[in-house]
Amino acid sequence: MPGHLSMEEVFARACELIPGGVSSPVRAFGSVGGTPVFLASAKGPHVVDITGREYVDLVCSWGPALLGHAHPEVVQAVQDAATRGLSFGAPTTAEVELAAAVKARIPFVEKVRFVSTGTEATMTAIRLARGATGRPRIVKFAGCYHGHSDSLLAAAGSGVATAGLPGSSGVTDGAASDTIVLPYNDPDALRAAFAADGERIACVITEACPANMGLVPPASGFNETIREVTREHGALMIFDEVLTGFRVGPAGYWGHDNSPDAPRYVPDIVTFGKVLGGGMPLAALAARAEIMDLLAPLGPVYQAGTLSGNPLATAAGIATLRLADASVYARVDEASEVLQTAIGEALTGASVPHVVQRAGNLFSVFFGEDAAARGVRNYAEAQAQDVFRFAPFFHAMLDAGVTLPPSVFEAWFLSSAHDDAALSRILDALPAAARAAAS
């Protein structure tokens, strides 16, 4: 395209060719209004748009960029891999190395299957749970997002929440009818669902710590309750760590919430994505061998992928996990604390009722008196917040050169490349954004 086009002109052209002008609906500015920012490059904590304007980025590719954008060692690893061939459709030692790196971080993992997207990982985990139990039904929680496979789109978070949709057109009643949707953080509803239909429920899938309706941590004991109830009824517990895995800590939210030597709960199947691929398309499901060996070619549960575990993505994943040492997590944790405090102070200073909810280095802001008074424990409460305050807040931050996820229902992402200079730019932007949210 000609280089002199404005953002609006590029977006108009994109809309002629691509539905909504975007390849994933969460990138649209549907809930905040205006023209999505088309990016040309990214480095460290920054992204640069097609006009050459630089922003401090709090999207971080929706999670993967734990080390910041285009970390030189990750880029080098991908370049080296590319010179050896882009994709073989045959096993590689890199897959073995990456599987070992995952297993080394998550003690209950015995085997790993690589796929290309988080959607595939959770979809396959569900199929595996059904194959393992011989049961049809699944339980998911309202506001949790597990990708866009048919059976998981009911009352989903992320872009489905942003658009205010109950689910998706094109999903048949047959596909949806085996999905039981329950309110999050409600042990009684979970027990009641199992009391009513426990013998037909294959699994409960839950975000390890929900971050797709905003950040809604599990109430104390909720993940343990899921574990107990599923075990009592012979169902499996699927822990979706696509977003939290290797981001909240080296062993994901599970490691953040459990001592590896004496865990309070251990799920049956865990899913990863995002940071695992370090910015390349890579995701995985993992479990103990007895479950994983039900997958083809050993077992009867079929799953496959032309580009699964491809050499470029595995190279990025290996380099990312190798570099994600204690100092990386310490920096992201520290930056996240500075930011959470500053957001709270700015909003309080502008008399905007709010709560900042967090799980380690992940957090999001909810607006409104009820949210401020009680916190947000489930999707209904997340939807009841003062959603209208987010658009002016978002645009004030954007005007000041800070990119946030364009939805109030998303967590904000930091990286270890967010240095003091980047943080200062965010802190400087917050007071005006808070005042915009107040009006």
What is the C-alpha to C-alpha distance for residues 357 and 216, in angstroms, rounded to an integer?
Answer: 7
Complete DSSP assignment for 76-103: HHHHHHHHH-S--SS--HHHHHHHHHHH
Judged by CB under 6 A, the chain residues 334 through 363 that form the site for ligand PLP are: none
Residue with tokens 């809604």: 216
Q: Which pair of structure tokens corresponds to residue 3?
A: 């280089």
Are the C-beta atoms of 238 and 206 separated by less than 8 Å? yes
Query: Phi, psi at residue 189, to the nearest 5°?
Result: -65, -35
Of 57, 240, 257, 386, the active-site residue reads 240
Among this protein's residues, is 274 annotated catalytic?
A: yes
- Name every residue whose Cβ is closer than 8 Å to that of residue 135 and which is 6 or more positions away in sequence: 199, 200, 201, 202, 235
Which residues make beta-bridge pairs with 69? 44
How are beta strands 39-43 and 46-49 bridged, if at all? antiparallel
**Cβ distance to ligand PLP smaller for residue 233 or 272:** 272
Shortest Cβ 148–ligand PLP spacing (Å): 7
Of 145, 184, 265, 379, the active-site residue reads 145
Shortest Cβ 159–ligand PLP spacing (Å): 9
How are beta strands 137-141 and 179-182 bridged, if at all? parallel
Q: Decide if residue 179 touches ligand PLP (CB under 6 A).
A: no
Q: Which stretch binds ligand PLP (CB under 6 A): 64-72, 143-151, 194-202, 350-358?
A: 143-151
Of 274, 329, 379, 386, the active-site residue reads 274
**Cβ distance to ligand PLP smaller for residue 122 or 385:** 122
Among this protein's residues, is 145 annotated catalytic?
A: yes
- The closest of 215, 180, 226 to 378, measured between CA atoms, is 215
Q: Decide if residue 212 touches ligand PLP (CB under 6 A).
A: yes
Binding pattern for the stretch 98-137 against ligand PLP, x by CB under 6 A and - elsewhere: -------------------xxx--x---------------
Query: Phi, psi at residue 237, to the nearest 5°?
Result: -105, 120
Ramachandran quadrant class, 360 (left: phi over 0; alpha: psi -120 to 50; beta: rest): left
Cα distances (Å, whole numbers) of residue 332 to 22, 71, 273: 29, 15, 19
The only residue of 77, 153, 242, 404 in contact with ligand PLP, by rule CB under 6 A: 242
Judged by CB under 6 A, the chain residues 144 through 163 that form the site for ligand PLP are: 145-147, 158
**Cβ distance to ligand PLP smaller for residue 245 or 353:** 245
The only residue of 101, 182, 243, 318 in contact with ligand PLP, by rule CB under 6 A: 243
# of chain residues touching ligand PLP (CB under 6 A): 16
DSSP assignment, residue 112? Answer: E
Among this protein's residues, is 379 annotated catalytic?
A: no
**Cβ distance to ligand PLP smaller for residue 25 or 263:** 25
Binding pattern for the stretch 253-292 against ligand PLP, x by CB under 6 A and - elsewhere: --------------------x---------x---------
Judged by CB under 6 A, the chain residues 51 through 70 that form the site for ligand PLP are: 62
Which positions are catalytic? 145, 240, 274
Residue numbers at the binding site for ligand PLP (CB under 6 A): 62, 117-119, 122, 145-147, 158, 207, 212, 240, 242-243, 273, 283
